Chain A
Amino acid sequence: MTIGSDLEVVDMDVVLDLRGLDALIRVLAQDGRVVVGPVLRDDAITLAELGSADDLPGGWGVETGPGHYRVRRREDEAVFGHSAGPQSWKRFLHPPRRALLSSDGTGFHAAPESPVSYAFFGVRPCDLAAITKLRQVVGGPAPFVVAAQCTEPGEVCFCSSMGCGPGAGSGYDIALTERVDGDGHRFLATSGTEEGAAVLTRVPSRPAARHDVELADRDVAAAAGRMGRSMPEVDLRDLLAANRDSAHWEAVAERCLTCGNCTMVCPTCFCVSVEDRTDLDGNAERAQRWASCFEIDFSYLHGGAVRTSGASRYRQWMTHKLGTWHDQFGTSGCVGCGRCIAWCPAGIDITEEAAALARTGGGRP
């Protein structure tokens, strides 16, 4: 972005109105991509294939809290004015069930792959970071990503303290920043890749002025100050490593139902179990399905499960997410999207549990 007067045109960046946004969806689809984005369904903002900008949840926001999620009408018609919903892009990059291979008893055949060319539309910065972390583990083709910078953090959000938002980090093809004010409903669009820039040339837009960029920067900066939550300002990896024997895990276990909701809604939790299905002709199919470290069978070894107590299972999840993910993949497994807080039926808050561990100083009881 260049520096100049308020009216000076800024390199690369353009401004789209709703018509331009609609054109962007259509152009991405015309190129053979399956465009997936937020839609309102069953009183939640979920992810589904978009046909046009009309499918977006215009005018809908959300209200979140520990164990709480409600959609609400907004005062404006913003389409990205909602924080993370119950689904994440994980369900497309790492589907809940995926066939692996078939066997007739003498030979094995890899399951046919039908690669879908996805365009993810309206990816929030926390989820943009999650896509990078998840693909680091499970691989797969890179989707085309249209990020939507966050100007509307929710009550359970803490991406800022995880370094994953509210501005979009790397990994997007196009980043949008939405604004609705007296000057209308519009989206500042910045390209992150040549492919993104090429797509933007095909949709109606006007050049962005310095004023547009400043407003977007200001809105995103303001969002950083409106995060509902934050992680304690300590090295979380060290904190978890020092707290393996903390008595606090028992205190969490008194509330935790070990239901596994947190692992299902987490945009980076990648664990799977493999299942065999046989038919009456003697053929077998092997498939993976999402698994949770809260399942008692997850750690099953001959003779029984390693982690039988709820305390050990919660410790495994939180320690992996914030600590040992670093050992395994060189980064944190958490992006601060807050889904695990909103969708925990007991309202367990990972930021509060981390703060509780930090307060006890990492020592043994």
Chain B
Amino acid sequence: MTSWVPTPCRVVERTVETHDCVTLTLRPVTGSLPAFRPGQFAMLYAHGVGEIPISVSGIPADGTLVHTVRAVGAVSRALHDAAPGTVIGVRGPFGTAWRLDGVEDLLVVAGGIGLAPLRPVLGHPSRRTVLVAGARTPEDLLYAGDLLALSDVDVVLTVDRGGHDWHGRVGFVTEPLASIPLDPERTTALLCGPEPMMRFCARTLLGRGVPAGNIQVSLERSMQCGIGLCGHCQLGPLLVCRDGPVTGYPEAEPLLLAKEL
């Protein structure tokens, strides 16, 4: 049963990101958590409400753990509302990480809250990074101020619906993907967002000559254990908690194309 028991962590900082997203910085009440890698996730437990998988959105060197949570259901709402001082249960790290060894040209494509698991890979000085991030409206853009301040990242932001004070791009993330300069053979693309978004982005990139093996996606399924025991996260042959969430596109594509898999 020990693998089911969370480590109590205190919310030490709560940053409001958008109207429904917050970023929580968590510190173990005692001891420490194992090291997380970008792309992995933790099971976060809100007392008496439940536990959900949330990707790590920041890995500070001071032993804290950063998660960005969007309030969509009972548990994510409880986590979203957790004030500094609240104790949250953390289990993890679970799942696969973004594969970044030897990557020189990194293309990061995010839709909505899908930017959260990608934030830890941004701003690495040893590689050129282009970020294409989309959201429904300007108010839904995550980390927007921080992103534009990143010196080593070319940032392209786009929204589905702009407002009268939005002077940036309006349209799907696939549109800038079709035109941004890239060296297809040298590009590694990391995609995270709604499944149709990832499929269309991958199609666009394949069309531009990016090899399928250079494309990684982060998959999402219902998860109740994180340790391959509950069965909920099956996607065809995969147990997403164990074999994902980060998956190579050649493996993921047929699974994403099948209806109701």
Contact = CB atoms under 8 A, between A and B. Distances in A.
B86 to A, nearest CB: 9
Contact of A298 (B2, B5, B222, B237): B222
A306 B235 CA distance: 10
A312 B260 contact: yes
A218 to B, nearest CB: 41
A132 interface: no
Given A244-B258, A299-B232, A301-B222, A103 B4 contact: no
A100 B89 contact: no
B12 to A, nearest CB: 15
Interface residues on A, range: 35 or more
A298 B8 contact: no
Nearest to B235: A306
A242 to B, nearest CB: 12
A109 B258 CA distance: 41
A308 B45 CA distance: 27
A282 interface: yes
A75 interface: no
A299 B89 CA distance: 23
Nearest to A138: B229
A273 B4 contact: no
Given A110-B1, A274-B51, A103 B230 contact: no
B42 to A, nearest CB: 14
A258 interface: no
Interface in A285-310: 286, 288, 291, 293, 298-303, 306-309
A302 B73 contact: yes
A320 B236 CA distance: 8
B1 A271 contact: no
A188 B141 CA distance: 73
Contact of A273 (B49, B230, B234): B230
Contact of A291 (B228, B230, B259, B260): B230
Contacts of B236: 244, 319, 324
Nearest to A277: B48
A245 interface: yes
A106 B8 contact: yes
Contacts of B72: 302-303
Nearest to B194: A303
B18 interface: no
Given A137-B229, A274-B224, A245 B45 contact: no
A111 interface: yes
B48 A103 contact: yes
If over half of A's interface residues share one DSSP class (helix, strand or loop), that class is named, otherwise mixed; here it is mixed
A105 B229 CA distance: 25
B220 interface: yes
Interface residues on B, range: 35 or more
A312 B261 CA distance: 7
B6 interface: yes
A331 interface: no
A323 B237 CA distance: 8
A273 B224 contact: yes
Interface string B89-101: 1000000000000
B237 A327 contact: yes
Contact of A101 (B4, B73, B230, B258): B4
A270 interface: yes
B6 A244 contact: no
Contacts of A270: 229, 231
A238 interface: no
B123 interface: no
Interface in A109-162: 109-111, 113, 137-138
Interface in A203-247: 244-245
Given A103-B48, A274-B51, A306-B261, A320 B220 contact: no
Nearest to A298: B232
A299 B224 contact: no
A328 B229 CA distance: 11
B260 A306 contact: yes
B47 interface: yes
Contacts of B229: 137-138, 270, 272
B221 interface: yes
Contacts of B6: 101, 108
Interface string A88-110: 00000000000011010111111
A243 to B, nearest CB: 11
Contacts of A323: 237
B145 to A, nearest CB: 26
26 contacts: A101-B1, A101-B5, A107-B87, A108-B6, A108-B8, A109-B5, A137-B229, A272-B230, A274-B225, A276-B50, A282-B48, A286-B4, A286-B51, A291-B230, A293-B234, A299-B221, A299-B222, A301-B221, A302-B73, A302-B76, A308-B260, A311-B260, A312-B259, A312-B261, A324-B236, A324-B237
Interface of B: 1-2, 4-6, 8, 29, 45, 47-51, 72-73, 76, 87, 89, 220-222, 224-225, 228-232, 234, 236-239, 258-261
